[in-house]
Amino acid sequence: MTCQPPHADSIASLRRLSREVADRGDECLAMLLRGVDLYVSIGREWELIESMRKFAHNAQEMVNGTPSAADLRDLYRRNDEGETGESEP
């Protein structure tokens, strides 16, 4: 099941409820609520990692075969030499 990212108020409310329940002495329910909070946090981190992994894969395909900085510098110097007729050190 895919859920939309939780609203910040929802997360804050969940944490507040967990504290209130713990203050009332119901440690089992408080632990369950902290587990839900952990699950939500890990899920958000996992989605971020997956997004970054997909971007890295796509970015590698985009830049594969593009000239390096050294290649571009050499090309720039070669073009300057052709226009001025002299070579640079």
CA–CA distance, 9 with 6 (Å, rounded to integer): 8
Please say whether the beta carbons of 21 and 29 come within 8 A.
Answer: yes
pLDDT of residue 67: 85
Q: What is the pLDDT of residues 38-49, one digit of tens each?
A: 988 888 888 889
Give all strands (DSSP E) within the chain, no chain letters.
Answer: none
Instruction: Decide if 3 is inside a domain.
Output: no
Total length of the chain = 89
Determine, yes or no, domain membership for 18.
yes
Query: Is the pTM higher than 0.85?
Result: no
Domain count, the chain: 1
Is 78 part of a structural domain of the chain? yes
Q: Render pLDDT for 5-44 as a digit per residue (tens, 0 to 9).
A: 678 888 899 999 999 999 999 999 999 999 999 988 888 8
Q: Is residue 52 part of a domain?
A: yes
User: Which residues, in sequence order, are CB contacts of 45 under 8 Å at separation 6+?
Assistant: none
Task: Please report the pLDDT score of residue 83 as a whole number.
Answer: 65
Q: By residue range, what is the domain housing residue 57?
A: 8-84
Share of the chain above pLDDT 70, in %: 85
Q: Which DSSP letter does residue 64 get?
A: T
- Separation between Cα atoms, residue 73 and residue 46, nearest integer Å: 40
**Is residue 48 included in any domain, yes or no?**
yes
